[in-house]
Amino acid sequence: MKILKKIIIGLLAIVAMASCTLEREDYTEISPDNFPQSENDLKLAVNSLYYEFTTGTWNGEAIFGSDQNGYQVVSDMTTDCLWSCWGWGWDELHFQQWFSTISGTTQSQAYNAFAHYQFLSKARNTIRRIEESIAPESAKTLYAAEAHALRGWIGLYLYDMFGPVPVASDEVLDDPETFVYLPRLTDEEYDLMMETDLRAAIADLPVVASARGRMTQGAAMMILMKYYLIRSNFSGAEELARELQEMEGSVYSLQPDYANVFSKAGIGNNEIILQVPCNSSANWTTNYLTASVLPSDMPWTEKSQGWGGYVMPWNFYDSFEADDARRALIAASYTNNKGELMTSTNSTQLSYGALPLKYGKDPEMTGANSGIDVVVYRYSDVLLTLAECIVRNTGAVSTEAIQLVNRVRNRAGLAELSAEQVASTDAFMDALLIERGHEFWLEGLRRQDLIRFGKYVEYANQRIAEANASGKNYFTVDESHNRFWIPQTFIDESKSQIKQNSGY
């Protein structure tokens, strides 16, 4: 029995040893006790916010993707300036044949777009973490301002597509496990949020960013200006446009050559106010807009690959003046790699429209990956917006407004606006809308421009009528299409606190 005793004592000893704390280790995790603290931590925290604005992969839901999730693509594809030869999912957008009930491409696109409202919370929490950190005040001010600007950027796109969305208060964010069913903000509440974020950003952001792609004062002003335009606050927009205009020469300028703005050599040119910087080596930072257009048999760069889908409808192409330098970037035909001339008679893609190859050749393009930055906002928009606001605010066509438009026209190698075009505000506005279309195709501004000018639905119905004349059976659309419907999933989740946009 002595031995037994020893064994029992031994066992007890082992047991005692074992009852100390059990530990789990994972070296890939960072504890909130250690982050964010330093200036570099703040930078890293804000860097992760920028991920929301990447070009994504083909199947991703990136805001600057070139598929139906891409803000710019949706904004142009639903208008007269962009189409695709890929069939249904794209026709659904181009002819605005979307429904809020049946599943379809546009359904998942709308879902992904609305889901970005989560970013408002993410940015808000990041701002609070920055404010609570022990980093130097200067760093806190700078990075909080960047986060404010990014929050405003998403805020703009959400309002643009859906109108006001629900936004969680700090109390709700602090208790994520409690389900609070939030209604949408009112327009006034949303205005306040946008003003607060973007004014804070404008106040504290640098005029020139430390690296291309980071938020600047000008970018924040541009975002707020766009928001004002949607909200029909044209005096606010004019004010910001003028402030931006004052930065001409010192910060921004109108590039002499239109094509250069979108070329490899022109990366980082000072006409651009906001861009998504690209790097062709990573799938999520690649400009796919070239590949989406480029026919697979069209010679381009050594290792490029084209997906051959997007086109500019012929009607839109034909609306350009023949000597417009901007039209030179749009191919009406091409010689393929077998030496055959491809035109609208022997190429499916060209039968749909011309090839809007706005972005230049990147010799390092491999596959579909081009490294030329995606342009978001640029200075010529400031000039045209200012012209528009002057006329809208005064109700008269001023010399200043005419000159602003003419600067943009001259740069494109065109003559000044004709006497007829400046004869009345209506004529001027019609000319301005055409000018904006010719200037900004493939940049995702067309949808809001048409809505602002009251033409979005009208033009869609023209396309629908034409298509129906050649055998399609599309339904006509109404003004409710100026906003997308809110995906039912979010309405259900909110226990119907979220109210659907009217008309759906």
Contact 474, 97 (CB under 8 A): yes
Residue 256 in the binding site for other proteins (CB under 8 A) = no
Quick one: which of 371, 355, 352 has its CA closest to 466? Answer: 352
- From 68-76, 296-304, 428-436, 447-455, span contacting other proteins (CB under 8 A): 296-304
- Bridge partners of 374, per DSSP, are 276
3-state class (DSSP) for residue 43: helix
CB of 112 vs other proteins, minimal distance in Å:
12
Q: Which of 9, 26, 249, 426 binds other proteins (CB under 8 A)?
A: 26
Q: Which of 235, 335, 348, 476 binds other proteins (CB under 8 A)?
A: 348
- Whole-number Å distance between alpha carbons of 39 and 37: 7
Quick one: which of 184, 187, 16 has its CA closest to 114? Answer: 184
Residue 366 in the binding site for other proteins (CB under 8 A) = yes
CB of 263 vs other proteins, minimal distance in Å:
14
Angle at CA of residue 418, ends 413 and 423, nearest 5°: 145
Quick one: which of 484, 367, 378, 352 has its CA closest to 439? Answer: 378
Query: 392-451: which residues touch other proteins (CB under 8 A)?
Result: none
Residue 97 in the binding site for other proteins (CB under 8 A) = yes
Residue 130's contacts (CB-CB under 8 Å, 6 or more residues apart) are: 36, 42, 45, 46, 140, 143, 144, 147
Q: Which of 37, 88, 136, 476 binds other proteins (CB under 8 A)?
A: 88
Neighbouring CB atoms inside 10 A of 168's CB total: 17
Quick one: which of 265, 226, 268, 271 has its CA closest to 248? Answer: 271
Q: Which is nearer to other proteins, 292 or 380 (CB)?
A: 292
Contact 168, 154 (CB under 8 A): no
Q: Which is nearer to other proteins, 50 or 453 (CB)?
A: 50
Neighbouring CB atoms inside 10 A of 179's CB total: 11
Query: 189-218: which residues touch other proteins (CB under 8 A)?
Result: 211-214
- From 85-93, 140-148, 254-262, 421-429, span contacting other proteins (CB under 8 A): 85-93
> Mask of contacts with other proteins, 172-191, x by CB under 8 A?
-x--xx-xxxx---------
CB of 147 vs other proteins, minimal distance in Å:
12
Q: Which of 37, 118, 343, 394 binds other proteins (CB under 8 A)?
A: 118
- Whole-number Å distance between alpha carbons of 105 and 118: 21
**Lookup: tokens for 435:** 């000018």
Quick one: which of 305, 275, 443, 293 has its CA closest to 365? Answer: 305
Secondary structure letter of residue 486 according to DSSP: P
- From 32-40, 312-320, 352-360, 408-416, span contacting other proteins (CB under 8 A): 32-40
- From 31-39, 218-226, 232-240, 442-450, span contacting other proteins (CB under 8 A): 31-39
Neighbouring CB atoms inside 10 A of 331's CB total: 19
**Lookup: tokens for 55:** 């070009």
CB of 453 vs other proteins, minimal distance in Å:
29
Query: 37-76: which residues touch other proteins (CB under 8 A)?
Result: 41, 44-51, 53-54
CB of 346 vs other proteins, minimal distance in Å:
8
Query: 469-498: which residues touch other proteins (CB under 8 A)?
Result: 471, 473, 475, 490, 492-493, 495-496
Please, what is the end-to-end C-alpha distance for the chain in angstroms?
Answer: 85
CB of 336 vs other proteins, minimal distance in Å:
10
CB of 213 vs other proteins, minimal distance in Å:
5
Q: Which of 9, 102, 134, 322 binds other proteins (CB under 8 A)?
A: 102
Residue with tokens 């490899």: 264
CB of 292 vs other proteins, minimal distance in Å:
14
CB of 317 vs other proteins, minimal distance in Å:
21
